[in-house]
C-alpha cells in the first residue's frame, strides 16, 4: 500500500553519530550529525492541533470499522477525552492526567495524543531518524504511561504485521524500570515482540524527567535513556499471510515481507497515559490520583549526509526455523 502525501509530512534519511542533548539546550543545538525536522516545545498556552490529534473513548474500530475492541485491545479501564481536566499545557509542558470517573461507563478518564487526524490523515509521520521525548511519569499501581509509534498506513496488514515501536513504556508500580519494545510478525494472533527493560541508574525513578529516544535506521533500531544506549535490535519479521481476518504463522521465506519490513514505512507519534489492563493490572487503594504524565518536549531529527546502508537481519529465530 502506498501512502497518500495529502496532508502528510514525511521525512527521509541522513548519516552521522549522536550525542546526548542536555535538557537546558534548545532543540536546534547540541545534536551533532542530526537535523531537526519537527518538534513541539509546548511553549503555547494551548495544545497545537496542527500537530496533535486525539483518540477518544474506550476502544477502537478495526477491520474498516467492523470490529470494536474494548479497552484499546488490552482490557484497559480508562476512557480517553480531550477535556482540559485530562490534557492541557501549562508552564511549557504538556500534562496528561488520569483520574477516577463514571463517564461513559469507564472507571477512569485520561488522554492519548497522536500526530494523526481523526480521519487517518497524518499531521506528521516519518520513516527513520531520531525520535526524542523528555518526560516525567506518574508512580502508582495500575498507571501505564507510554511514548510510542504506529505506522501511518498498515502497508503490510493490521496489527502487528505493520509494526509498532515502543520508545518507552512503564508500569507505575515499578518506577525504577522502563521498557523499549518492538511488535511485529503476522496479524494478531500470530504476532510477536522483542524488547528489553532498563533500570534507571543511581536509584533514579520515572517520577523524574528523563529523555527517552530511539534512533531508527534501515535494519537497525537503538534505544536511549538520557543519552545511554540501552538496547539495539536488528531482528524482526513481517508476514501479510492471513486466514480470514487473522494472521497465520508463515512457513517459509516466501511468506515474509521483504526485509526490513515492517520497519521501512513512515510512523506517527503517540503519547498516552492508560489505567489498568493486561500489561500491569488494575490500580488499588494505594494508587494516587490524579496520575499525571508531563512532557517537556518532543523532537524528531533526520541524519545529515549520506543515508546509512541497510543493515542485514541480525541473529534470531524465524517462525519456520528448525529448533
The residues carrying an active-site annotation are 164, 169
Element (H, E) at 272: strand 267-275
Q: Is 105 left (phi over 0), alpha (psi -120 to 50) or beta?
A: left
Bond before 185 cis per omega within 30 degrees? no
Phi, psi of 42 (to 5 degrees): 55, 45
322 contact partners, CB below 8 Å, separation of at least 6: none
Q: Cα dihedral angle (260, 11, 2, 51), rounded to 10 degrees?
A: 120
CB 303 within 8 A of CB 129: yes
Q: Is 166 exposed, middle or buried (0-12, 13-18, 19+ CB in 10 A)?
A: buried
CB 290 within 8 A of CB 18: no
Number of DSSP helices (H) and strands (E) in the chain, helices first = 0, 21
Calpha distance 41→297 (Å, rounded): 5
Bond before 260 cis per omega within 30 degrees? yes
Q: Tell which residue, 242, 132, 141, has the closest CA to residue 188.
A: 242
Amino acid at each position: 500500500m502506498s501512502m497518500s502525501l495529502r496532508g502528510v509530512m514525511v521525512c527521509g534519511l541522513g548519516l552521522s553519530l549522536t550525542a546526548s542533548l542536555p535538557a537546558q539546550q534548545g532543540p536546534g543545538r547540541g545534536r551533532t550529525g542530526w537535523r531537526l525536522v519537527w518538534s513541539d516545545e509546548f511553549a503555547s498556552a494551548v495544545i497545537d492541533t496542527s500537530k496533535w490529534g486525539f483518540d477518544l473513548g474506550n476502544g477502537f474500530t478495526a477491520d474498516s470499522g467492523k470490529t470494536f475492541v474494548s479497552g484499546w485491545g488490552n482490557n484497559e479501564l480508562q476512557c480517553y477525552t480531550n477535556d482540559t481536566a485530562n490534557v492541557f499545557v501549562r508552564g511549557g509542558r504538556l500534562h496528561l492526567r488520569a483520574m477516577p470517573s463514571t463517564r461513559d461507563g469507564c472507571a477512569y478518564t485520561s488522554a492519548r495524543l497522536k500526530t494523526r487526524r481523526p480521519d487517518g490523515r497524518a499531521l506528521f509521520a516519518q520513516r527513520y531518524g531520531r525520535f526524542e521525548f523528555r518526560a516525567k511519569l506518574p508512580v502508582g499501581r495500575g498507571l501505564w504511561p507510554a511514548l510510542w509509534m504506529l505506522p501511518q498506513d498498515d502497508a503490510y496488514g493490521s496489527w502487528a504485521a505493520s509494526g509498532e515501536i515502543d520508545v518507552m513504556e512503564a508500569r507505575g508500580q515499578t518506577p525504577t524500570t522502563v521498557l523499549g519494545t518492538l511488535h511485529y510478525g503476522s496479524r494478531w494472533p500470530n504476532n510477536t515482540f522483542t524488547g528489553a527493560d532498563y533500570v534507571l541508574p543511581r536509584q533514579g525513578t520515572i517520577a523524574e524527567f528523563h529523555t527517552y529516544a530511539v534512533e531508527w535506521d534501515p535494519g537497525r533500531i537503538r534505544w536511549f535513556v538520557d543519552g545511554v544506549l540501552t538496547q539495539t535490535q536488528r531482528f524482526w519479521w513481517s508476514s501479510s499471510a492471513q486466514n480470514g481476518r487473522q494472521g497465520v504463522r508463515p512457513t517459509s521465506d516466501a511468506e515474509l515481507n521483504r526485509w526490513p519490513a515492517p520497519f521501512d514505512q513512515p510512523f506517527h507519534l503517540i503519547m498516552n497515559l492508560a489505567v489498568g489492563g493486561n500489561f500491569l493490572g488494575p490500580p488499588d487503594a494505594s494508587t494516587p490520583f490524579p496520575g499525571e504524565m508531563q512532557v517537556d518536549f518532543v523532537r524528531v531529527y533526520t541524519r545529515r549526509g549520506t543515508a546509512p546502508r541497510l543493515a542485514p537481519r541480525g541473529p534470531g529465530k524465524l517462525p519456520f526455523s528448525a529448533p
